[in-house]
Amino acid sequence: MRKLLDFIYDEINFKEILRNPKRWVGYSFIIIFLAIFVVSLSFLDQIDKLYRNATPYDEPDPQKLFKDVELSLGKKIEGVKIEEIKSPTNEMLARAREIYTTTCASCHGPNGNGDGIAGKGLNPPPRDFASITGWKIGRGIVQIYKTLQEGIPGTAMVSYDYLSPKEKIALFYVINGFSNDVPEVTAKDIQELDETYKVTQNLDVPPTIPIAKAISKISNENKNYLDKIQKISLALNDEYLDKYISDKRSFANFILRASNFQQNYLDLLLESFPLNGVSPKFIKASKQEKEKFFDRLTSLIKMD
Ligand code: HEC
């Protein structure tokens, strides 16, 4: 220590510095260096606070990010026959009248005059079906089908695409019935209708199940399966079997999944080695030992 101080006193002429303060400038780089060093130390000391995010992260709930599908049974939507497009059956017309009363009359009025209660004050107002002028999309079969399929954007006339082709086609007759002036349905109309909307095709609409429900169903099924594995692994508690089974749970999983285990157990075991949980000793064991293993196994576990 003394030596170091002596060294510093030899190197720096303190008296000279005091007498002539300008000489400090010569040491300024040391001072600057020390200043930076001190600032850095205090910076390092605070670093965890400096980089901590002050706003807490609000994790979005994935369930709310998308709309889940609804539970629905699958259904078959029957296509319409060509001749039914030109002359709908009484059954089709009765069904369309029923739909009109329950779904359309609230706006378009019971007699199609556009004077339904729910239509009051709408802009544009609901079409008056008794009048054959002023239609926006048109009164032809293709146009009315289009209106029902797509709706009229920006108006209260929404899409009724869930109606079947039969129902939409029959509605064309019901709606134009209010003016007693049904536009002719030409062969060209029928062709266009079928090309655009595939009205003659039968459709299979597959059943849908909400994802949340599907997940809970799958995990319940899985739970049952895991319970079974647990049961079997417990039943496998046997000294003789322990010699040949290295992993009880894998083995339980293996016999649960193996079909025809009784007949093919040896082939199956050899094929799936070593994932099936038997030890290599079993592969090398004699035929008698293997048979004994199987007898022991079937005496402990009922196979089906
Ligand atoms: C909520 C009220 C409302 C209901 C319910 C409603 N509509 Fe409309 N509909 C309207 C309005 C409003 C218009 C006029 C839109 C326009 O002029 O742009 C309209 C127009 C129409 C047109 C005329 C399209 C054209 O070319 O001008 C047809 C056809 C039609 N609706 C059929 C139906 C049928 C069939 C139903 C029942 C399945 C139905 N609407 C149910 C409000 C409704």
Domain boundaries, the chain: 2-50, 75-205, 211-300
pTM over cut 0.85: no
Distance separating alpha carbons of residues 157 and 126, to the nearest angstrom: 8
Q: How many angstroms does the Cα of residue 126 sit away from the middle of ligand 1? A: 6
**What was the pLDDT predicted at 87?**
94
- Report the CATH architecture of 75-205: Orthogonal Bundle (1.10)
Q: Which atom of ligand 1 is nearest to the CA of 104?
A: 37
**What was the pLDDT predicted at 212?**
82
Could you tell me if the CB of 171 is within 6 A of ligand 1?
yes
Q: What angle do CA 42, 43, 46 make, to 5 degrees?
A: 90
**What was the pLDDT predicted at 166?**
95
Could you tell me if the CB of 122 is within 6 A of ligand 1?
yes
Round the CA-based radius of gyration of the chain to a whole number and report it.
43
Q: Locate 2 and state its tokens.
A: 């003394």
CA dihedral 77, 78, 80, 84 (to 10 degrees): -130
Nearest-CA residue for ligand 1 atom 34 is 104
Closest CA to 198 of 105, 60, 77: 77
Q: Which atom of ligand 1 is nearest to the CA of 163?
A: 38
Q: Which of 107, 128, 174 to mutate to test the pocket of ligand 1 (most atoms within 8 A of CB)?
A: 107
Q: Which of 157, 166, 178 to mutate to test the pocket of ligand 1 (most atoms within 8 A of CB)?
A: 157
Nearest-CA residue for ligand 1 atom 14 is 126
Could you tell me if the CB of 120 is within 6 A of ligand 1?
no
Residues 6+ apart with CB under 8 A from 189: 140, 141, 142
Residues 6+ apart with CB under 8 A from 127: 108, 114, 134, 135, 136, 157
Could you tell me if the CB of 26 is within 6 A of ligand 1?
no
Q: How many angstroms does the Cα of residue 231 sit away from the middle of ligand 1? A: 63
**What was the pLDDT predicted at 271?**
79
Could you tell me if the CB of 144 is within 6 A of ligand 1?
yes
Nearest-CA residue for ligand 1 atom 32 is 148
Q: For residue 31, what are the CA distances in angstroms to 11, 38, 119, 154?
A: 16, 11, 86, 75
Distance separating alpha carbons of residues 43 and 50, to the nearest angstrom: 9
Distance separating alpha carbons of residues 178 and 176, to the nearest angstrom: 5
Q: Locate 35 and state its tokens.
A: 């200043």
Q: For residue 175, what are the CA distances in angstroms to 126, 172, 202, 255?
A: 13, 5, 25, 65
In the chain, which stretches have pLDDT less than 50?
none
Q: What are phi and psi of 109, to 5 degrees?
A: 85, 150
Q: How many angstroms does the Cα of residue 33 sit away from the middle of ligand 1? A: 82
Q: Tell me the DSSP string of the chain.
A: -HHHHHHHHHHS-HHHHHH-GGGGGGGHHHHHHHHHHHHHHHHHHHHHHHTS-SSPP----HHHHSPPPPPB--EEEPPPPHHHHHS--HHHHHHHHHHIIIIIHHHH-TTSSS--GGGTT-SSPPP-TT--S--SS-SSHHHHHHHHHH--TTSS----TTS-HHHHHHHHHHHHHTTT-PPP--HHHHHHHHHHH-TTS-EEE--B--HHHHHHHHHHHHHHHHHHHHHHHHHT--HHHHHHBS-HHHHHHHHHH-SSHHHHHHHHHHHHTTTTSB-HHHHHS-HHHHHHHHHHHHHHS---
Q: Are 253 and 229 in contact (CB under 8 A)?
A: yes
Q: How many angstroms does the Cα of residue 301 sit away from the middle of ligand 1? A: 68
Q: How many angstroms does the Cα of residue 98 sit away from the middle of ligand 1? A: 16
**What was the pLDDT predicted at 58?**
72
Q: How many angstroms does the Cα of residue 293 sit away from the middle of ligand 1? A: 77
**What was the pLDDT predicted at 98?**
96
**What was the pLDDT predicted at 39?**
92
Could you tell me if the CB of 179 is within 6 A of ligand 1?
no
Q: How many angstroms does the Cα of residue 127 sit away from the middle of ligand 1? A: 6
Q: Which of 93, 97, 108 to mutate to test the pocket of ligand 1 (most atoms within 8 A of CB)?
A: 108
Q: Are 250 and 276 in contact (CB under 8 A)?
A: yes
**What was the pLDDT predicted at 56?**
65
